Each structure stands twice: as C-alpha cells, then as structure tokens.
C-alpha cells in the first residue's frame, strides 16, 4: 500500500549481488584457474602502470597530490547522501484527506481521512469475529485508498470476515456518496492464537 519504490529496492539488491558474485568468483578463479591467473597478472600490471600515470598526470595545484583522490571522495560523499535518501524514502504514502472535491462554485469539499477511518473502525470494533481492527488511508496513484486490516479470531471464515467488512464499506459509500477504493487485509497473527476460538458457525 505504501509507495516504496520496489523496483529500486530490487535494483540495489541486484547490483550488490552481481558485484559480490563477480568479485568473489573472480578472486576464486584467480587462484584456482592458472590460465585466468596469468591473464589477471598481465591485465593488472598494465592497469597499475596506467593508474599511477593518471595519479601523476593530475596534480592538484602544487600540493603534490592528484585531484583524483578528492574527486573519489566527493563521489563517495554523493553516494552516501543518495543512499540515505534511499533509506528514508522507504514506506510513506499515508494521506490525511479522503475526498477532495472542487465541485460547486461556492467552494471545495474536503473529507478528512479520519471520517471513514473512525466510521469503519467503530463499526468493526463491535464485531466478535475480530480481535483488532485498524483502518488507515493511503495515497495510491494520487487516489486515496482505504486499508482495513483486521485480526480474526481463530476459526473465522475469511469469506465471512470479508463480507462483514464489505458491508461496512458499502454503508460508508452511502454516507460519502462515492466509492473509495479499499483494501481488506485479513490476518491471523500471534494475538489471534492466544484468544479463544470463535463459537460462530
């Protein structure tokens, strides 16, 4: 429901994995496969010379050091900032507005997301089928979507649970005069296992 960028998550995992795979396999092959070792030695001798020439050819003023090092430092700093932004970007997506309608000439109608949340939660809290219920509103592709998550008592039919919640949602539709897209999440969980099982059929 939240707007975590999942493709980005997978991309990061993929490239980290690929890097480790290549480095690890390369190191193992370097010591185990003689042909690869010879090639590696030849290639790295050239590379070492190349790198030291670069370092000599790129002086930073007359300090005696190359500007490549500070440049790498800057790149590392940027990478760290990007990664921190990546971490803080996870999750999110809650919204405080359920309906925003600039319908009439006289003004705009805004329904706070607390209205449907409290209405549904209040209706569900009286039902014996559920141990707990929680309603929240997320923004999915610029549209508010209700998320109704309930923890069922042991043995409650998921269909019955879904039907109960759908009835409440339909009642809410009547109240608001429009349909909000909704997700029902029915879970068992640890608390459900501790409570006594249902006596409903």
> Which residues within the stretch 56-85 sit at the binding site for another protein (CB under 8 A)?
65, 69-70, 72-73, 76-77, 79-80, 83-84
The 110-149 contact track toward another protein, x by CB under 8 A, reads ------------------------------xx-x-xx-x-
Q: Per CB under 8 A, which region of 96-104, 111-119, 150-158 contacts another protein?
A: 150-158
Cβ nearer to another protein, comparing 10 with 105: 10
- Write out the chain in H/E/C secondary structure: CCCCCHHHHHHHHHHHHHHHHHHHHHHHHHHHCHHHHHHHHHHHHHHHHHHHHHHHHCECCCCCCECHHHHHHHHHHHHHHHHHHHHHCCCCCECCEEEEECCCCCCCEEEECHHHHHHHHHHHHCCCCEEEEEEEEEEECCEEEEEEEEEECCCCCHHHHHHHHHHHHHHHHHHHCCCCCEEEEEECHHHHHHCCCCCCC
181 sits near another protein (criterion: CB under 8 A): yes
Least spacing, CB of residue 70 vs another protein, in Å: 7
Cβ nearer to another protein, comparing 109 with 157: 157
Least spacing, CB of residue 190 vs another protein, in Å: 10
Among 114, 115, 162, 176, interactor with another protein by CB under 8 A: 162
188 sits near another protein (criterion: CB under 8 A): yes
Cβ nearer to another protein, comparing 136 with 198: 198
CB half-sphere exposure, 153, CA atoms < 13 A: 15
The 22-61 contact track toward another protein, x by CB under 8 A, reads xxxxxxxxxxx----x--xx--x--xx--x----------
């Amino acid at each position: 429901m939240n707007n975590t960028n999942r493709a980005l998550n997978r991309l990061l995992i993929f490239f980290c994995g690929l890097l480790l795979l290549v480095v690890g396999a390369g190191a193992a092959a370097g010591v185990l496969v003689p042909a690869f070792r010879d090639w590696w030695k030849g290639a790295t001798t050239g590379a070492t010379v190349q790198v030291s020439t670069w370092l000599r050819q790129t002086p930073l003023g007359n300090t005696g050091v190359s500007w490549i090092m500070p440049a790498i430092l800057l790149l590392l700093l940027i990478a760290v900032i990007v990664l921190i932004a990546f971490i803080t970007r996870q999750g999110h997506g809650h919204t405080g507005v359920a309906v925003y309608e600039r319908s009439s000439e006289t003004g705009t109608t805004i329904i706070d997301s607390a209205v449907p949340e409290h209405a549904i939660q209040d209706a569900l809290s009286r039902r014996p089928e559920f141990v707990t219920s929680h309603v929240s509103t997320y923004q999915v592709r610029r549209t508010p979507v209700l998320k109704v998550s309930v923890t069922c008592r042991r043995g409650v039919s998921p269909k019955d649970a879904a039907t109960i919640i759908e009835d409440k949602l339909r009642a809410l539709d009547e109240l608001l005069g429009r349909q909000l897209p909704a997700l029902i999440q029915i879970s068992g969980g640890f608390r459900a296992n501790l409570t006594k099982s249902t006596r409903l059929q």
